Structure 1
């Protein structure tokens, strides 16, 4: 009986008399051993939580209280754990303002669907740094009526991953030398803009431009100076555009500017602004400042245009006409 008691197989109600001294000692030792095992498990659990580079959290949906956050909260959010545990509103205050509506809407989806594999949003750390989180969460408990009671989740910092994705996207869509759109990205975007303009009846303008006498610049000063001229012209293009416009390098010294929602008059104004900005460039060389000019061809979307090629062809023809007429000007096609 003593051995069975030590192994925990004998229930208290099976004991019919008082414990002997030996039994009492064994029971005490057993109790202490169980307590030590529990402490070991608690220490192991705490060590595991501290080693996980993600915030484990639990939200009581009925009281709107964060009832648990793991130690990683302080590292990722840059705030004391007490900040999160004070109220759910304080947790929401961490979220980047532009992402707050999405974070709330996606949580409502979790309540309806029961789980969400991943929702990504930004937070503002205690030191002001903006970080990206991937937050996986699900409904852990429900009331007898089926209403959500406890929501648990794991929020992981994915800022480095996001930055890598953005850099890969930039490399895939950007001309390395000028940092403007590359040819492929420009024409893919231009095609979408063309289709939208045709479907909606919105105006669309296309400007094609070429640096005048660029070969002479390369021959006289070298390709390094030519690269610098390309970069400076691209800077002028970026400064002349509006939000939603697209500027890109589509050839050696050839650039293009797509102007959605832009009629002829406004397109001429933007083109003229770009023309003047390039004229004012003073690129330093060993022979003194180098002046640069561009020739531009302008085309406006016609109802009869069935494809982007028609718009591009008119702009291209107009640009070469500007070259023949003396360069440094805009010609409408």
Structure 2
């Protein structure tokens, strides 16, 4: 027979022991589940190819940055957590003012979702980021302003956009502006010149006897001539001038801020560059000439069409007078 007092003093009551055991097992399960969730969250952060970050606006301290920072920026996260300027110093110099201004806008707007700027990685690559940021609205009044964000590498997207734009605006053969893009740019320059009262010149250029070149030496050689003309345009024209191929063997240029005498000097320089060209085909060497029509903006011009018409008439006058010359109209 078991002593009841001994039983009471040495062992817990069985119902209470079972409850304690169940509580311990439940606690262990909760710990295990928390650990699993933490591991899952960590795995997700590692796999996401975007930088999650948190920034204390008042202390200028980066509070958190996800693992993708090291993959995209190529720099240790620990350095950024110690010095927030690590991120700032990575921004492409031309984009720094915009990146800082757009970040500050979050204080007024609460969220800024259209920030795009470039960074320079540790190995010297230039990459594009789409960096969305938000104010943490869960903070209690009087607490520091915490900005959270997500920065995604959009370099591939930007490169694709750039290539699509190039294809839409560039003449495939000569790599100069195509007709549509040239006239879009020319119309903008015309409107700016009219608005500001600044000079503007318009030039048309046509290759002399281009059909004879194709018939004599073949279309591949004709294509080569067109490409070399475009190269001369790039070499002879000024920075900011607009140049493009607007027809088969016809090119055009717009000279913003260029008075008539200066425009003639540019056209003459282009003429000399073209006259220096030399081509070889089956042991035959030949050169080319061009006829140019040049005109300048007047107070009576209401649209670009009037400049185009005068330049076109001047170019055909150059043809009539014997080709290989510049006529101003």
CA-CA distance at 1:20 after TM superposition:
4.8
Give the stretch that moved more between structures: 76-85 or 43-52.
76-85
Give the stretch that moved more between structures: 25-34 or 72-81.
25-34
Is 1:183–1:251's contact at 8 Å kept on the other side of the alignment?
yes
Task: Give the distance between the partners of 1:266 and 1:48, measured in 2 at CA.
Answer: 63
Task: Give the distance between the partners of 2:167 and 2:130, measured in 1 at CA.
Answer: 24
The one of 46, 52, 56 aligned to 1:56 = 52
1:155-304 alignment to 2 at 5 Å?
155-304=151-300
CA-CA distance at 1:202 after TM superposition:
0.5
The alpha-carbon distance between structure 1 residues 159 and 204, as it changes in their structure 2 partners (threshold 3 A), is same
CA-CA distance at 1:142 after TM superposition:
7.1
Task: Give the distance between the partners of 2:219 and 2:116, measured in 1 at CA.
Answer: 45
Task: Give the distance between the partners of 2:78 and 2:238, measured in 1 at CA.
Answer: 46
1:318-333 alignment to 2 at 5 Å?
318-333=314-329
The one of 287, 305, 316 aligned to 2:301 = 305
Is the partner of 1:281 in helix, strand or coil? Answer: coil
Residues 1:46 and 2:26 aligned together: no
CA-CA distance at 1:196 after TM superposition:
1.4
Is 1:208–1:255's contact at 8 Å kept on the other side of the alignment?
yes
Task: Give the distance between the partners of 2:142 and 2:250, measured in 1 at CA.
Answer: 64
The alpha-carbon distance between structure 1 residues 266 and 148, as it changes in their structure 2 partners (threshold 3 A), is farther
Task: Give the distance between the partners of 2:141 and 2:51, measured in 1 at CA.
Answer: 30
Residues 1:119 and 2:115 aligned together: yes
Give the stretch that moved more between structures: 79-88 or 303-312.
79-88
> Where in structure 2 are there 5+ consecutive unaligned residues?
1-12
CA-CA distance at 1:29 after TM superposition:
2.6
> Where in structure 1 are there 5+ consecutive unaligned residues?
1-16
Task: Give the distance between the partners of 2:290 and 2:307, measured in 1 at CA.
Answer: 20
Residues 1:107 and 2:96 aligned together: no
Match of 2:312 in 1: 316
Is 1:141–1:148's contact at 8 Å kept on the other side of the alignment?
no
Task: Give the distance between the partners of 1:106 and 1:173, measured in 2 at CA.
Answer: 30
CA-CA distance at 1:253 after TM superposition:
0.2
CA-CA distance at 1:70 after TM superposition:
0.7
Is the partner of 1:217 in helix, strand or coil? Answer: helix
Instruction: Report the TM-score, using the length of structure 1 for normalisation.
Output: 0.91
Residues 1:91 and 2:113 aligned together: no
The alpha-carbon distance between structure 1 residues 295 and 147, as it changes in their structure 2 partners (threshold 3 A), is farther
Count of matched residue pairs: 317
Instruction: Report the TM-score, using the length of structure 2 for normalisation.
Output: 0.92
Task: Give the distance between the partners of 1:147 and 1:307, measured in 2 at CA.
Answer: 60
